[in-house]
């Protein structure tokens, strides 16, 4: 599977379903999320990805904004848009991990509109853990790795 998107008339992989994911988080949309066409601007989806993943990390005790000596730098993100989301929709983000390296982790995230079982958008998000000061990659520690393993898809 290449990064080159197929023309719209060609088959694309079917949108993800909820059963694919390990954790779910509910997110509210905002008035300013809607663009001039009346739907959620494509940028906002990444803000929801970020919030879902980091919200989960904080809840698990894996991210302390001020004290963590290691931070997760985002090195790559991507999103495919299947259907429209719009304020005031309630959105559920499904999250899981598709790849776990020595210092990197790749999350898969999908956004579901209201009660829908079919993703309106899905994408990924790669964190590389680095030392907060030197910004050099560091190995993911055992506590974090163990939590990440529970999220593997």
- Residue ranges binding its own copies (CB under 8 A): 1-5, 7-9, 26-32, 34-38, 41-44, 46-48, 50-51, 54-55, 58-59, 65-66, 71, 73-81, 87-88, 99, 101-104, 106, 124, 126, 128, 137
In this complex, which beta carbon is closest to its own copies, that of residue 76 or of residue 117?
Answer: 76
Minimum gap (Å) between residue 142 Cβ and its own copies: 19
In this complex, which beta carbon is closest to its own copies, that of residue 48 or of residue 144?
Answer: 48
Minimum gap (Å) between residue 114 Cβ and its own copies: 14
Cis peptide before 88 (omega within 30 of 0): yes
DSSP sequence for 79-143: EEE-S---TT-EEEEEEEEEEE-SSEEEEEEEEEETT-SB-SEEEEEEEEEEETTT--B-PPPHH
Contact 40, 84 (CB under 8 A): yes
Minimum gap (Å) between residue 134 Cβ and its own copies: 13
Q: Rounded distance, CA 111 to CA 94, Å?
A: 6
Q: Rounded distance, CA 28 to CA 33, Å?
A: 10
Minimum gap (Å) between residue 113 Cβ and its own copies: 15
Minimum gap (Å) between residue 17 Cβ and its own copies: 20
Beta-carbon contacts of 22 under 8 Å, excluding residues fewer than 6 positions away, are: 94, 95, 96, 97, 150, 151, 152, 153
């Amino acid at each position: 599977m290449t990064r080159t998107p197929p023309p719209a008339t060609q088959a694309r992989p079917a949108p993800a379903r909820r059963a694919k994911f390990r954790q779910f988080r509910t997110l509210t949309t905002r008035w300013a999320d809607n663009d001039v066409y009346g739907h959620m601007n494509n940028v906002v989806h990444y803000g929801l990805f970020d919030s879902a993943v980091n919200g989960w990390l904080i809840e698990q005790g894996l991210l302390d904004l001020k004290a963590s000596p290691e931070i997760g730098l985002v090195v790559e993100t991507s999103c495919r848009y299947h259907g429209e989301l719009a304020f005031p929709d309630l959105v559920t983000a499904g999250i899981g991990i598709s790849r776990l390296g020595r210092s990197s982790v790749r999350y898969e995230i999908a956004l579901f509109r209201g009660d829908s079982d079919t993703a309106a958008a899905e994408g990924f998000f790669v964190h590389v853990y680095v030392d907060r000061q030197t910004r050099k990659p560091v190995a993911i520690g055992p506590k974090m790795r163990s939590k990440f393993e529970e999220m593997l898809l």
